[in-house]
Amino acid sequence: MHDFHYSNNELFCEDVLVAEIAGEVKTPFYLYSYEALRRHFRAFDDSFKGVGHLTCFSMKSNSNVAVLRLFANEGGGADIVSGGELYRALRAGIDPGKIVYSGVGKTVEELEYAVSSDILMFNSESEQELIALNDVAKRLNRKARVSIRVNPDVDPQTHPYISTGLKENKFGIDIKKSFEQYRVAAGLGNLTVTGVSCHIGSQLTRVSPFVDSLRKIKDLIAGLKDAGIRIRYLDMGGGLGITYNEEKPPLPVEYAEAIKKELGNTDLTLILEPGRVIVGNACILVAKVLYTKSTGDKNFIIVDAAMNDLMRPSLYGSYHGIRAVKAKGGQRIKADIVGPICESGDFLAKERDIEPLDRGDLLAVMSAGAYGFTMSSTYNSRPRVAEVMVKGNIYSVIRKRETYEDLVRGEEIPDFI
């Protein structure tokens, strides 16, 4: 995370003091580095030079319109999983011809919105969805381009909650049965079969599961060709991992080389749906210490950010680095970093070896750009925090901190109470 660096023991994001931003926007807030976002996008996208490809950023990892605009400017598309994400993508200026739509439960209204928007491709996850999509396209007098999301049944060797490519997961259609589904799709008049897609899981730290699923998909595409069904797009999904602690995931270029090698010479266009690998390490969550206390042999550092702001530690037991915004040195202690929420599961870090922090000190929760703000909620009626982006020596709020009025917007007390 070299766009977040120390100078004279003070943490900077690019050329701006993190403490200065905290002074103005107050805490907590998510802080993005423009330079890191752009560099990560380019590093990924450039790795696939030499094969026809489209990088469709996975919006569920981060959907702020400013972040999306940055990727749109780089030629990126989007992988969406809801009508709301489609709305955000279009608002950000992403070309609908570069949007792919995944997810097991697309509603009829969402299908209508996406068909009318003429998106590139629907990654369909069931026979009923294919039929519903065909009906919608027929009613709108359009043709919808589809791929079938196949479940290749490979073990991504990641956390079970973020593994999606095993037979027991709800996602996709068993690759062995997908041939039959392709026949169904090809027989539906308002669908154009154009792709095969898969997404086997997230935070993968090895390339072999990707290569294994690609091998199975290549066989499927060859079989389809023999049956007269021509595939143009091969969507490999996302899932490449990042370093939160000591993981050593492959670099994007290693991932790309492995895929290109297995793919060989081809006229297929690759679609990639990276999320975490682009945004994860381009952002930190800045919080302030409210109180510290010790109970017996345990130390607690109570901060103003909580599980509603960053859910990953509570949800998956995920590791996020914790750094002092102003490094003071001194005797390190072991402590739990916890938030104000009334749940024992509300923690950002456990049993962490950390330099001593006092009331009012700022700390940074590292690697917070993916599944950070997007998973946040207002639980305990805590307004959602601000998001800020730095570029060089300037910064800008890219999402205002919510207010108490925002919390109750839309709520009504009916007459009968």
Ligand X SMILES: *Cc1c(COP(=O)(O)O)cnc(C)c1O
Query: Helix axis angle, 175-186 relative to 127-139, nearest 10°?
Result: 20
Residue bearing tokens 């994400």? 85
> Between residues 160 and 223, which has the closer beta carbon with respect to ligand X?
160
> Does 85 participate in binding ligand X (rule CB under 6 A)?
no
Which of 209, 237, 250, 252 is in the footprint of ligand X by CB under 6 A?
A: 237
Which of 275, 313, 339, 369 is in the footprint of ligand X by CB under 6 A?
A: 275
- Residues 163-189 as b/e (b if ≥16 CB within 10 A, e otherwise) read bbbbeebebbbebeebbebbeebbebe
- Both tokens of 160, joined, read 């079970």
C-beta of 345: minimal distance to ligand X in Å?
Answer: 23
> Does 3 participate in binding ligand X (rule CB under 6 A)?
no
> Between residues 88 and 288, which has the closer beta carbon with respect to ligand X?
88
- Residues 309-342 as b/e (b if ≥16 CB within 10 A, e otherwise) read bbbbbbeeebbbbbbbbbeeeeeeeebbbbbbbe
> Between residues 40 and 276, which has the closer beta carbon with respect to ligand X?
276
The contact mask relative to ligand X for 254-273 (x = CB under 6 A, - = no) is -------------------x
In sequence order, what DSSP letters do the residues of 219-259 get, joined into one string? HHHHHHHHTT----EEE----B---SSS--PPPHHHHHHHH
Distance CA 195, CA 269 (A): 9
State which of positions 197-216 bind ligand X (CB under 6 A): 199, 202
> Does 367 participate in binding ligand X (rule CB under 6 A)?
no
Tell me how far CA of residue 275 lies from CA of 63, 242, 278, 337, in angstroms.
10, 10, 6, 27
- Single-letter code of the amino acid located at 394: I
> Does 238 participate in binding ligand X (rule CB under 6 A)?
yes
C-beta of 316: minimal distance to ligand X in Å?
Answer: 12
Cβ–Cβ under 8 Å, residues 125 and 103: yes
Which of 61, 62, 178, 318 is in the footprint of ligand X by CB under 6 A?
A: 61
For ligand X (CB under 6 A), the number of binding residues is 17
Cβ count near 403 (within 10 Å)? 10
C-beta of 20: minimal distance to ligand X in Å?
Answer: 31
> Does 274 participate in binding ligand X (rule CB under 6 A)?
yes
Distance CA 218, CA 417 (A): 62
> Does 106 participate in binding ligand X (rule CB under 6 A)?
no
Q: Is 216 left (phi over 0), alpha (psi -120 to 50) or beta?
A: alpha
Cβ–Cβ under 8 Å, residues 353 and 332: yes
Query: Helix axis angle, 65-73 relative to 34-47, nearest 10°?
Result: 50
Q: Specify whether 342 is catalytic.
A: yes
> Between residues 34 and 57, which has the closer beta carbon with respect to ligand X?
57
The contact mask relative to ligand X for 147-186 (x = CB under 6 A, - = no) is ----------------------------------------
> Between residues 292 and 374, which has the closer beta carbon with respect to ligand X?
374
Stretch that binds ligand X, among 56-64, 108-116, 134-142, 206-214 (CB under 6 A): 56-64
Q: H or E element: which one contains 58?
A: strand 53-58
Which of 276, 312, 352, 382 is in the footprint of ligand X by CB under 6 A?
A: 276
> Does 98 participate in binding ligand X (rule CB under 6 A)?
no
C-beta of 203: minimal distance to ligand X in Å?
Answer: 6
> Does 391 participate in binding ligand X (rule CB under 6 A)?
no
Which residues of this protein are in contact with ligand X, per CB under 6 A?
58, 60-61, 79, 102, 199, 202, 237-240, 273-277, 370
The catalytic residue positions are 342
